[in-house]
């Protein structure tokens, strides 16, 4: 049978009625009613105006009952039903679904705040309870923070999970459809806000990777389908770019830099896919986010691209008219903050910045200085001139110290990188002049930075030198014993030696000018000096090479030793793990066997104990009983109670004894110290008493002196005080009299008003009493009339009830008469059925008798006209045709009687002569009929099947007036 179709509007009305009951069962039933509507085959043909309220109500129930799978299925069916007719309805439904999920989250948050606020600041402790170790540990390590987390996990976490699922379901419903693209972007924006507010970093990664990025890939893959996303449309591309920029901003705020970098790649891909150039404001926002991403990780590589991103940002911001006054300074400082040295080319980052080639520090500084040098503040301009135009190692630090302290807060993040640049520039300049420099000399050069953010001490200087050598900014080695730094000439620079020679020669000529020599002599001296320097350089190179080989050999030896030790540790750990695993398996097998034996023993003991307990109603723990009989159970229970009592008394005795011994030991230890302590206490008390007496005396003397001085000072102004006091008292007395008269007049006036109010109130109360009396009389009159009417109605009702009772009695009598008649008919039918049953049983007995006679020879073949056997002449043979009665007993008695008849050669003893009336009514047998044949049945009797007759299982044929055949 097909299911009954229910109209959607009727299902909605029924669900609202069930929800009005306010029980969980009614809510579940209402939910199931609405589920049947969505499962109906006629759902797609229902008008949108009817479906919308049903979907709203169903989504409300899904949010309340946390049924996200049903919500997804319902939204999918609703979308398939109305996407060709009403896209606005889908948007309305999705907005309603998300609003309900957010409302549930807000409600859960408020409830959690209320429960957290209701938590007590300090837990309530009962001082009368004894201190226990568990309670002390609990009070020490457990506080209200755990309760707060449990409350938030119980209330807020499910709501947040469902809210996130609501965003995901909505995005899944609206994806890859240009008609739902607007609501898709709106839901994505709300999901970003949710992740940002609730710090859902994992959900944000899943949203970007598994939803937005995947949907964009599918949109480009299936762009040939109907209603697919068209990224060549400027409006669609603009909305996608807005979403990706918001995604980038959210990733930056959540500090998910890897996801932010992927978002930048998404934006770059969308910009490259668009046929039109993006707006300058949008591109400026894009490059601004790039500056934040590249700044986050730090290092030489990111510093170059950070400066390039600032340059590109200012370029587009200036076009869009959104640049500020601090931007030129950031562009120049970011370029100056790029560390010295070469940078590895990154084509991926170059493409993200839309640059033709790899940016370098020189190009960035040159471009920034050429465009923004006049617009930056004066201190930044001076920093540029000191670092790039005229860098003096001896005076640079003194000049830079006041400048970095006066930089604006917006430029403070660049100070650490600028410090590295300044130190690198300083060391490089020193390397051009000196071969070996003491670290103290470098510290003296950077000493002006002591009270600035660039303060440098010996550990930080050594750390910087090691980092610079590792990066390749300088080539030097530090001698920690001599506290010097030695600069190494790189073999990759063939002109370094000649440059050094020129600088040294100019320095010597400046310090100690020599007389002019000939050109040949100077050339020969230069050749000799160059040869000497070449030998020194070669010797130094050999030393460095030898040191490098020794270090490599030591490192290899150390690595081999570490690998050997690691292999041995791993082997030992593997052997230990194998041994433990075998022991654990062996112990597990032993425990399993013990457990089986214990379980079997326990089952037997419990069965015996249950039986004994059921019989004797014993109050004994069944689990602790083992192989005991009923006599020992009572003894066991008594013994157990006595044992518990003894253990309790023993524990109390031990505790009391321990406390007694402890108190006795404490008193014994402190007894020798009491006298000494008492003497010390007396001395200290005496000293303290004397000190307090002395201080109190001095304080009393000082107070006495101050009181005397105060009395003398106040005594001089006593006459003036008395005169002023009399004047004030006389003036106040006059004012008091005037005020008293006014108060008396006001009291009289108030008394008069009060008297008038009392009179009016009494009159009103009297009128009210009169009105109440009249209303009471009216109510009594109406009550009397209503009583008379009720009495008349009751009399009429009693008369009708009497008539109805008489009719009911008559119906009962008629029903009793019909029942008696039916009972008599059933008795008659039962008597008739019993008579028929007796006749059938008699025929069966007769057939049994005949079979017995045939088997014994009495029923053998006789020639017609031959004399019958003697048994046929007996008086019992005459009534053989009449039905017989059945004796008491079953088939065993009948079988025994049959066996006896066969043995004696007589008829079955179960057959008895029938009644005389039956014998008289029985017809006489026809001539020639066999005496053993059965008589013809009466009218209405059934033929009885038996073992006799013609054929196996055949019915006994009726006798006729014809002579029997030769067979009989």
Task: Please tell me the predicted confidence (pLDDT) of residue 965.
Answer: 38
Question: How close are the terminal C-alpha atoms of the chain, in Å?
Answer: 65
Alpha helices in 133-256 (DSSP H): 133-141, 144-174, 181-198, 201-206, 214-221, 234-253
3-state secondary structure of 662: helix
The residue assigned the tokens 């009210």 is 768
Residue 958: which residues within 8 A CB-CB, separation 6 or more? 936, 937
Indicate the domain borders of the chain: 1-120+150-174, 526-588
pTM over 0.75: no
Cβ-contact 87, 188 below 8 angstroms = no
pLDDT at 372: 80
What whole-number distance in Å separates Cα of residue 933 and Cα of residue 859? 9
- Here the tokens at position 641 are 């109670």
Q: Answer for the pair 368, 331: CB distance below 8 angstroms, yes or no.
A: yes
Confirm if 387 and 421 have CB atoms less than 8 A apart: yes
Give the rounded distance of the alpha carbon of 708 from its chain centre.
81
What is the secondary structure of 723-735 as a DSSP string? HHHHHHHHHHHHH
Sequence-distant (≥ 6) Cβ neighbours of residue 894 within 8 angstroms = 848, 908, 910
Strands 476-479, 436-438: pairing is unpaired
115, 156 in Cβ contact below 8 A?
Answer: no
Q: Which residues contact 266 (CB under 8 A, 6 or more apart)?
A: 213, 216, 244, 247
Q: What pLDDT was estimated at residue 737?
A: 93
Give pLDDT tens digits for 757-777. 999 999 999 999 999 999 999
Residues of the chain under the 50 pLDDT cut: 1-2, 124-131, 134, 136-145, 297, 491-494, 616-618, 626, 630, 858-888, 906-968
Q: Give the per-residue pLDDT at 609.
A: 65
- According to the 3-state scheme, what is the secondary structure of 759-774? HHHHHHHHHHHHHHHH
Which of the 8 DSSP states describes residue 231?
A: T
Cα separation, 157 vs 817, in Å, equals 76
The per-residue pLDDT for 683 is: 92
CA atoms of 780 and 758, how far apart (whole Å): 33
Backbone region of residue 922 per phi and psi (left: phi > 0; alpha: psi in -120 to 50; beta: other values): beta
Q: Of 968, 956, 922, 959, which is closest to residue 847 (Cα–Cα)?
A: 956
For every residue of 66-113, DSSP letters joined together read T-HHHHHHHHHHHHHHHTTT-HHHHHHHHHHHHHHHHHHHHHHHHHHH
Nearest to 53 by CA among 11, 6, 98: 11
Distance of CA 344 to the CA centre of its chain: 46
- Which residues have a Cβ under 8 Å from the Cβ of 171 and sit 6 or more positions away? 184, 187, 188, 191, 211, 212, 215
Report the chain's C-alpha Rg in angstroms.
60
Q: Residue 628 corresponds to which tokens in the numbers above?
A: 């005991």
Judge contact between 243 and 183, C-beta under 8 A: no
Please report, for residues 418, 419, 572, 733, the alpha-carbon distance to residue 412 in angstroms, rounded to integers and kept in the order given: 10, 12, 55, 76
- In this prediction, residue 1 carries a pLDDT of 38
| Residue in this structure with the two tokens 């991926």, named with its chain if needed | 348
Identify which of 921, 929, 933, 920 has the alpha carbon closest to the alpha carbon of residue 961: 929
| Cβ pair 909, 900 in contact under 8 A | yes
Q: Using an 8 Å Cβ cutoff, are 430 and 393 in contact? A: yes
Maximum C-alpha span of the chain = 192
Reported as half-sphere exposure (CB side, CA atoms, 13 A), residue 934 has a value of 26
State the pLDDT at residue 739. 93
Q: Which of 77, 246, 80, 99 is nearest to 166 (CA)?
A: 99
- As a whole number of angstroms, the distance between CA 158 and CA 105 comes to 9
Alpha-carbon torsion (751, 755, 760, 765), positive or negative:
positive
d(CA 791, CA 909): 84
Buried b (16+ CB within 10 A) or exposed e, 898-913: beebeeeebbbbbbee
């Amino acid at each position: 049978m097909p299911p009954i179709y229910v109209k959607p509007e009727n299902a909605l009305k029924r669900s609202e009625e069930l929800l009005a009951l306010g029980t969980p069962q009614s809510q579940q039933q209402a939910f199931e009613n609405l589920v049947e509507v969505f499962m109906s085959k006629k759902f797609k043909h229902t008008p949108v105006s009817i479906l919308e309220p049903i979907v709203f109500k169903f989504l409300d129930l899904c949010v309340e009952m946390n049924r996200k799978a049903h919500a997804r299925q319902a939204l999918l069916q609703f979308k398939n039903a109305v996407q060709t007719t009403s896209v606005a309805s889908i948007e309305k439904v999705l907005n309603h679904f998300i609003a309900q999920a957010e409302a549930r989250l807000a409600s859960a948050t408020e409830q959690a705040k209320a429960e957290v606020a209701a938590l007590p600041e300090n837990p309530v402790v009962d001082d009368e309870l004894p201190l226990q170790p568990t309670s002390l540990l609990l009070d020490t390590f457990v506080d209200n923070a755990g309760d707060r987390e449990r409350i938030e996990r119980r209330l807020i976490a499910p709501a947040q999970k469902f809210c996130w699922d609501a965003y995901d379901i909505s995005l899944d419903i609206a994806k890859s459809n240009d008609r739902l693209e607007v609501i898709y972007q709106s839901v994505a924006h709300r999901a970003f806000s949710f992740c940002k507010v609730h710090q859902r970093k994992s959900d944000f990664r899943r949203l970007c990777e598994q939803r937005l990025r995947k949907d964009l890939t599918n949109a480009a893959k299936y762009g040939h389908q109907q209603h697919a996303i068209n990224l060549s449309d400027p409006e669609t591309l603009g909305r996608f770019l807005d979403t990706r920029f918001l995604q980038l901003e959210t990733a930056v705020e959540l500090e998910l830099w890897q996801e932010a970098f992927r978002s930048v790649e998404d934006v770059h891909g969308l910009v490259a896919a668009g046929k039109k150039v993006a707006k300058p404001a949008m591109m400026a926002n894009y490059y601004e986010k790039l500056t934040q991403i590249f700044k986050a990780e730090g290092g030489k590589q990111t510093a170059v691209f950070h400066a390039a991103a600032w340059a590109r940002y200012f370029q587009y911001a200036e076009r869009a008219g959104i640049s500020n006054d601090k931007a030129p300074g950031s562009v120049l400082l970011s370029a100056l903050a790029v560390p010295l040295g070469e940078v590895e080319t990154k084509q991926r980052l170059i493409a993200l910045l839309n640059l033709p080639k790899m940016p370098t520090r020189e190009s960035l500084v040159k471009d920034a200085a050429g465009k923004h040098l006049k617009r930056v503040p004066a201190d930044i301009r001076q920093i540029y001139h000191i670092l790039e135009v005229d860098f003096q190692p001896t005076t640079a630090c003194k000049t830079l110290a006041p400048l970095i302290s006066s930089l604006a807060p917006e430029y403070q993040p660049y100070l650490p990188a600028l410090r590295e640049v300044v130190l690198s520039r300083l060391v490089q300049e020193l390397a051009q002049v000196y071969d070996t420099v003491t670290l103290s000399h470098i510290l003296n050069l950077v000493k002006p930075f002591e009270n600035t953010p660039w303060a440098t001490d010996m550990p930080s200087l050594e750390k910087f030198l090691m980092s610079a050598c590792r990066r390749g900014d300088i080539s030097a080695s530090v001698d920690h014993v001599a506290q010097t730094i030695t600069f190494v000439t790189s073999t990759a620079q063939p002109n370094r030696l000649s440059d050094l020679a020129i600088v040294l020669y100019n320095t010597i000529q400046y310090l100690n000018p020599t007389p002019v020599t000939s050109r040949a002599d100077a050339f020969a001296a230069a050749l000799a000096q160059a040869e000497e320097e070449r030998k020194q350089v070669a010797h130094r190179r050999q030393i460095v090479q030898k040191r490098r080989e020794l270090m490599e050999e030591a490192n290899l030896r150390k690595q081999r030793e570490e690998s050997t030790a690691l292999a041995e540790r791993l082997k030992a750990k593997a052997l230990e793990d194998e041994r433990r695993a075998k022991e654990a398996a062996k112990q597990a097998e032993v425990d399993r066997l013990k457990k089986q034996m214990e379980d079997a023993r326990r089952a037997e003991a419990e069965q015996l104990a249950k039986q004994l307990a059921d019989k004797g109603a014993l109050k004994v723990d069944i689990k602790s009983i083992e192989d005991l009989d009923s006599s020992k159970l009572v003894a066991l229970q008594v013994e157990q109670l006595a044992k518990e009592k003894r253990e309790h008394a023993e524990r109390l005795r031990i505790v009391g004894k321990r406390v007694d011994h402890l108190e006795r030991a404490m008193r014994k230890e402190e007894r020798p110290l009491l006298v000494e302590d008492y003497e010390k206490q007396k001395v200290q008390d005496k000293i303290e008493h004397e000190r307090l007496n002395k201080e109190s005396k001095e304080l009393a003397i000082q107070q006495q002196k101050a009181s005397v001085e105060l009395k003398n000072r106040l005594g001089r102004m006593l006459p003036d005080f008395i005169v002023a006091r009399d004047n004030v008292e006389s003036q106040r007395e006059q004012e008091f009299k005037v005020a008293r008269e006014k108060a008396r007049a006001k009291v009289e006036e108030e008394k008069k008003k009060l008297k008038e109010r009392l009179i009016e109130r009494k009159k009103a109360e009297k009128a009210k009493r009169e009105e109440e009396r009249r209303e009471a009389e009216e109510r009594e009159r109406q009550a009397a009339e209503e009583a008379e009417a009720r009495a008349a109605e009751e009399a009429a009702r009693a008369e009708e009830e009497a008539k109805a009772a008489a009719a009911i009695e008559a119906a009962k009598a008629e029903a009793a008469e019909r029942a008696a008649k039916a009972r008599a008919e059933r008795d008659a039918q039962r008597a008739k059925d019993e008579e028929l049953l007796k006749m059938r049983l008699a025929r069966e007995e007769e057939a049994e008798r005949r079979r017995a006679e045939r088997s014994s020879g009495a029923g053998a073949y006789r020639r017609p006209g031959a004399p019958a056997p003697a048994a046929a002449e007996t008086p019992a043979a005459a009534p053989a045709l009449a039905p017989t009665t059945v004796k008491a007993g079953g088939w065993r008695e009948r079988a025994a009687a049959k066996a006896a008849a066969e043995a004696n050669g007589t008829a079955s003893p179960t057959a008895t002569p029938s009644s005389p009336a039956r014998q008289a009514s029985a017809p006489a047998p026809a001539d020639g009929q066999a005496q053993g044949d059965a008589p013809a049945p009466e009218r209405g009797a059934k033929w009885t099947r038996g073992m006799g007759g013609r054929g196996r299982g055949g019915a006994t044929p009726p006798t006729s007036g014809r002579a029997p055949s030769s067979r009989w």
